Structure 1
């Protein structure tokens, strides 16, 4: 899942988040560190260009955003089709012909989309100002942010800082070193456990499967199940052949 809370509109459009010259793919979380050189197709590129080439491998950016934000966007199939046609650069008359409607209907829908975008920008500003008071919240009120790779954000992620701490105390023998007592079947507890385990991995680093296994063995005996859950819940990503893993975000 794309972390829309932390990303700017520019990052969502480009597919890249930049910080201090380091670029992170917003779709899969792969990091391209500043100062490194990356081999691609027999040539070598700096972090920015390598990141841009990587983002292109994910396909159409509009499709990526619509799929990742399907629930939040609440677009009907007809609206999705219209947005794709708008993005294609077709004239209103050509779009109308394809859809079997009048050009005025297409123009009206474009107007509706524009007004919706204006309202979204206004709400973002209002919410930003409302959030300025968050420093006064207690641990009972402050919610943890879902991790960047979350596949589906729902009630499982409604976890306060206080709940998080209580769960950690109950399911782990110790936090330093990290040693799991029991892997709960309850979804909220599972999220807390995986979040803590994922923190043992470094962002921007690529791990072999054996390296992942060694880290997980020290935490819980059933390392294969833990590895599967980390990938399934979007905390780790991996190459198609399973040869390498990296932390999302």
Structure 2
């Protein structure tokens, strides 16, 4: 899940709505559900919005579980905190949670208070951040992708910088065709961030499929493939037979 491109509301509900296509899209597998269309699951019938909600609940174990278990570097919750949040989300009474975790009732109350305080801090920070950068989107630093390796200044660039690098080094974006592969690391990262969009998250690719896609983009596909792995945009099995996008 590319959660960095989603709004807080989209993260909370587990899906996004694309108005131009009139579809609801699952954040976790990108399955779409059309507005106004009736979907049947088991013996029940659902319209688009209800269908994607049912899908997330039944196919992904619920949005809460997916968010809690997300392996992004931004999920800094400890195992104990995750255990507590799961217990709170289940609706259990504080006394029951305290007994199950072998702690005092007051400890559970204190932990609940701490979670609320962190939420307030996060809400205030988000409001301040969005006000600070409102109207300056072109100067906003692009979020670093989850699989990034050896994170340093190479990864810090604005939307405007990335677009300029892409325009200078690709002779065509539709279809994608790379003119040259620059030596500067920052430019390589910008180019790789565009190339990875040619692959579908959640899908496994064979070695021949990877070659076919990359050859169409750049003659030295082996180098591009190696960089996609080295810079954490893709993963592969040890034998190099299967590849997938690192989300």
Contact persistence 1:22–1:33 (CA under 8 A): yes
Which residue number in structure 2 is paired with residue 239 of structure 1?
none
Q: TM-score, normalized by length of structure 1?
A: 0.67
Change (3 A) 1:42 1:223: farther
- Summarize the alignment of residues 138-153 of structure 1 with structure 2, pairs less than 5 Å apart: 141-145=139-143, 150-152=145-147
Residue 28 of structure 1 is matched in structure 2 by 29
* Residues 23-57 of structure 1: per-residue CA shift (max 9 Å, x gap): 12222334444466768679986543443343231
Q: Which runs of 5+ in 2 are unaligned?
A: 235-241
Question: Which has the higher mean CA deviation after the structures are superposed, 88-97 or 119-128?
Answer: 119-128
Report the Cα offset of residue 130 of structure 1: 1.1
CA separation of 1:69 and 1:143: change in aligned 2, threshold 3 A: same
Aligned length: 229
Shift of 1:74: 2.3
Higher relative contact order (CA 8 A, sep 6+): 1
Alpha-carbon contact 1:2-1:68 (below 8 Å) kept: no
Question: Is 2:117 the partner of 1:120?
Answer: no
When the two chains are superposed, the root-mean-square deviation of aligned CA atoms in Å is: 4.5
In the superposition, relative to structure 1, how do residues 161 and 132 fare at CA in structure 2: closer, same or farther (>3 Å)?
A: closer
String of CA shifts for 1:164-202, please: whole Å, max 9, x gaps.
256436754x2355323566798744542233235557x
Q: State the match for 1:66 in structure 2.
A: 68
1:45/1:191 Cα in 2 relative to 1: closer, same or farther (>3 Å)?
Answer: farther
Gaps of 5+ in 1: 235-241
Q: 2:108 aligned with 1:109, yes or no?
A: no
**Aligned counterpart, 2:237:** none
